Chains A and B, each alone.
Chain A
């Protein structure tokens, strides 16, 4: 079984040093009109390059661009669509992070690339493969305010967003993304809508070409939905184990038809997991998995941690994998 070390999605964009805070200063300068859009973009590019290097140095094998250019996981994508306006702040699930809520004014439609250009840049400068990340159609839909009769039914919006995101998946696949991760934390809070999500993911699956499509959930316990999630038209399923104490048992019992992304390392707390906490779970789960591949990743995006702790968590992943492999040899 190949254990691939992967970042989840986001990575802290500022750090402790003045140099690591240049993007923060550039944002402030942009707000005051003191920096040109090109210069601002150059700062973003340099920070993307920096966080890619950090992930690689930490031993990560499947990297992300850290979502450095994203305002938040919702408005960054929804704000680029036609018929969408961006409203006030709302807490992002149970975090102390806030996103701007989209307001849907009419039938949504794509209006150019969402993240494909950013992916191309990251891929070109990265020493290792880059994973593309999108927020999924269901999470985007339930995070939005519907102010149009077109979307009296939530499901209509979810399906339309599925079509829009499918275009992006096609663009990402064309740009060479080996793994395209679709994040759907919201579905765990609304399990009754799994059928809608299933339908909405179909066009994404059809558009993926030779890429592998991953569905990642987090910030809630996926155990009760485990069997249903296995039915979704995706190749990889990612789970947040910090909310799901019984999930290892369930996986050990049922196995998995999909490749799994194991979020055993808490991406939201600074406490470093010890080997005796993590290795027994791997021992329990791995023999039940097929496909010869599993991803070890943090439980969620690492932007909820200070920069130095985010790096430490990725290094910890490597230490734990090494310890696990050593154990196997013994």
Chain B
């Protein structure tokens, strides 16, 4: 549980803090502007003005919807690895590679020694934080994922490329902390790909986070967690942000076998579906999470970045999520307090109460029988 750490950092969050994974859809005017910029029809300055406008829109949207920990929405980023690779010496941008269906990304190529080019994300973090009094997360991609999602023409092996990247991301973390960021998310969606490499991925993340005064979240998605769980709990972060809904919440079974001992940002929205989840559906998912995660350790967010949805779908999904969290918070307030480690809500509470009543009834019958004797 990292509540104490959050408190120490001066952050007071409500129970079940709500957040998002990072990216939001780009409004049409920005999509068009990016295409025009690529064709050199508009200047960097003109593009950036529109990126700021879109960032303002999303920060305002998150506040209006009622999220607790906000993001800048990554309106100025294309791909989560390419954004960093494009500015880091040592990388060249490669051609398009398919990630699924009709989705493609430019996969970078490591062609030389990787170096920190100076702050890569701090300007946007400061801009977004200047728009709200709620905390804005610093958003980075982790060294293991940048390594795994890049071609490597330079370093002798994957491990040395990963460690070189860890040094660079550490410097970015230092500048974010210096700027005032208290919550920093370092995405490592590739973490589960090669279980045998987990030890060096952990070592690399230790380089990034060690001794830094911030609450660290790492986002992992669409992986075979069964191969790295519970070993992944050694990853030196405070909070794991996991995709849960796309995979039918099957991770819960793993957590029942071996307790999850960190904070968990529980993905309750399927970001690859056009369907906007109802608050009831989301509430059901949160209730399932509460069966295995103490309420003090639970955060609620979508499965992944929402950039593949339309603006309206993203808004609708987040509204459902916030409405469901509010209902659960109310239920938690009313739930009986006692020695129970976990406070349950909804149907779980009903079942538990029924069980208690049954137990009390049996006890009473036994006493009566005893008295008769």
Contact = CB atoms under 8 A, between A and B. Distances in A.
Contacts of B97: 12, 96, 303-306
Interface stretch (A83-91, A110-118, A231-239): A83-91
Contacts of B193: 91, 93-95
Contact of B148 (A15, A31, A96): A96
A269 interface: yes
B29 interface: no
B110 to A, nearest CB: 9
B222 A90 contact: yes
A275 to B, nearest CB: 17
B96 A96 contact: no
A34 B109 CA distance: 36
A329 interface: no
A121 interface: no
A14 B149 CA distance: 19
Contacts of A324: none
Contact of B272 (A88, A97, A99, A308): A88
B270 A88 contact: yes
Nearest to A24: B102
A274 interface: no
B348 to A, nearest CB: 24
Interface residues of B, number: 29
Contact of B222 (A87, A98, A309): A98
A237 B224 CA distance: 27
B78 to A, nearest CB: 15
B280 interface: no
A96 B102 contact: no
A72 B100 CA distance: 7
A72 B222 CA distance: 15
B119 interface: no
Interface string B70-86: 00000000000000000
Q: How large is the interface on A (under 10, 10 to 19, 20 to 34, 35 or more residues)?
A: 35 or more
B98 A15 contact: no
Contacts of B190: 96
Contacts of B99: 96-98
B246 A88 contact: yes
Residue of A87, A91, A145, A308 with highest tally of chain B CB at under 10 A? A91
A13 B99 CA distance: 12
A151 to B, nearest CB: 17
B130 interface: no
B209 interface: no
B107 interface: yes
B151 A269 contact: yes
A142 B80 CA distance: 30
B117 interface: no
Interface in A4-35: 12-16, 21, 24, 27-28, 31
Contact of B96 (A16, A27, A95): A16
Nearest to A14: B96
B3 interface: no
A71 B107 CA distance: 20
B153 A306 contact: no
Contacts of A15: 95-96
User: Which interface residue of B94, B101, B109, B246 has the most chain A CB atoms within 10 A?
Assistant: B101
A270 interface: yes
Contacts of B194: 94
Contact of B94 (A72, A100, A145, A309): A309
B43 interface: no
B151 A270 contact: yes
Contacts of B151: 269-271
Contact of A16 (B95, B101, B246): B95
B94 A270 contact: yes
A146 interface: no
A307 interface: yes
B361 interface: no
Contacts of A145: 248
Given A91-B224, A270-B109, A271-B153, A99 B100 contact: yes
A306 B95 contact: yes
Contacts of A99: 100
Interface in B45-101: 94-101
A271 B152 contact: yes
Contacts of A71: 101
Given A14-B104, A94-B193, A269-B151, A89 B272 contact: yes
Contacts of B224: 90-91
B347 interface: no
A210 to B, nearest CB: 35
Contact of A270 (B104, B153, B223): B153
Interface string A183-208: 00000000000000000000000000
A96 B94 CA distance: 15
A60 B102 CA distance: 27
Interface in A74-109: 87-91, 93-100
Contact of B107 (A89, A271, A306): A306
Interface string B126-147: 0000000000000000000000
A304 B154 CA distance: 19
A93 B224 CA distance: 8
Interface in A295-316: 303-309
A304 B192 CA distance: 18
A93 to B, nearest CB: 8
Contacts of A89: 100, 222, 246, 272
Closest 6 CB pairs of A and B: A306-B95, A94-B193, A98-B100, A27-B102, A88-B246, A270-B151
Interface of A: 12-16, 21, 24, 27-28, 31, 71-72, 87-91, 93-100, 145, 269-271, 303-309
25 contacts: A12-B98, A16-B96, A28-B102, A72-B100, A88-B247, A89-B222, A89-B246, A89-B272, A91-B193, A91-B223, A91-B224, A93-B193, A96-B97, A97-B99, A269-B151, A269-B153, A270-B109, A270-B151, A270-B153, A271-B151, A303-B98, A305-B97, A306-B96, A306-B107, A309-B95
Given A88-B270, A98-B222, 10 more contacts: A12-B98, A15-B95, A89-B272, A91-B223, A95-B193, A98-B100, A145-B248, A269-B152, A270-B109, A308-B95
